[in-house]
Amino acid sequence: MKTRRDIFQAIADPTRRAILTLVALQAMTPGAITESFDSARQTISKHIQILTECELLTQQQNGREIYYHLNLNKMKELAEWLAPFAQMWDDRFNRLDDILNN
Amino acid sequence: MITHNNTQVIAEPGKQELFIIREFKAPREKVFKAFTDPDILIKFFAPFGNTMHFNHHDYKSGGSYSWYNKNAEGKIVCTFAGTIHELTAPERVIQTSEFMEMPERGHAVMEAMFFEELENGRTKLTIHDVCFSVADRDAMINSGMEHGLVDIFNQLDALLN
């Protein structure tokens, strides 16, 4: 539960969501990510660190450079988080279907 | 976004809102009535085998409602109350909704229900909820999971006893 909460705190921030969107298109170095924003290097570094701690970003060493990838499995967890809520509503609507059809 | 059988839930990360969308094979007047008539609501609205009961209801523009759910043991598990800002049959209802067992007040949700007429006597329902904070919105979605877990634990208890 704690990890899930962390993920949501991580992606609640607009800059971090923008970083995820960028990295979803292609793996990027920290330098390339920083260049895409007006914020200070240190600020972006902190955002990348939080996203990495939540496992939304994964690092890969390629020669002398580190590349950040989007962790799709972690993103899937977010969809699964909605499932029980959707199920609750679907059950409710299915009961209504029975009433409406009679 | 997730589609569970016929029900679509859209809740983007970091936002204060969520959408619940579903189509019904019934005319708009009938679907609208189901969501604004307490006698029909009690027949389908309570989840997880609970029962729904009204403290009071006055489904009209400027009206209000208060209802609670009881579990199988007769314990009150949740109370929701709100005021009805606008009720325009059979198009829409705009109301507030507050989970009254929260430790503090002030977490009301603005809720709009839109009933759209489709071809072949079908109706599309869109529920649009807007919360004061992302945390409130996420807590609302979590309630589905927490209740789901409670349900599983209750079933487990029943098996173990």
Q: Count of A–B CB contacts within 8 Å?
A: 93
In angstroms, the separation between the Cα of residue B4 and the nearest Cα of chain A is 6
Assigned domain for A89 exists: no
In angstroms, the separation between the Cα of residue B65 and the nearest Cα of chain A is 19
Tell me the chain B residues in contact with residue A100 when contact means C-beta distances shorter than 8 Å.
Answer: 24-26, 30-31, 34
Q: Give me the long-range contacts of B57-62 (CB less than 8 A, separation at least 24).
A: B58/B84, B59/B84, B59/B87, B60/B84, B60/B87, B61/B85, B61/B86, B61/B87, B61/B88
**The domain containing residue A30 runs over which residues?**
2-72
**pLDDT for res A5:** 52
Assigned domain for A81 exists: no
Which strands sit side by side in the sheet containing B7-10, from one edge to the other?
Answer: B2-4, B7-10, B17-24, B123-130, B109-117, B92-99, B76-88, B64-70, B51-57
Boundaries of every domain in chain B: 2-160
- For residue B138, the chain A residue with the least C-alpha distance is A8
Assigned domain for A96 exists: no
Assigned domain for A43 exists: yes
Domain tally, chain A:
1
Assigned domain for A30 exists: yes
Cβ contact B3–A14 (<8 Å):
no
Assigned domain for A102 exists: no
Distance CA B74, CA B53 (A): 11
Assigned domain for A7 exists: yes
CATH number at residue A10: 1.10.10.10
**Chain mean pLDDT for chain A:** 86
In this prediction, the residues of chain A whose per-residue pLDDT falls under 70 are 1-6, 8, 79
pLDDT tier at B154, thresholds 50, 70, 90: low
**Which of B51, B50, B3, B15 shows the shortest CA–CA distance to B148?**
B50
Assigned domain for A58 exists: yes
The pTM of this model reads 0.71
Cβ contact A82–B26 (<8 Å):
no
CATH 3.40.605.10 for domain B2-160: no
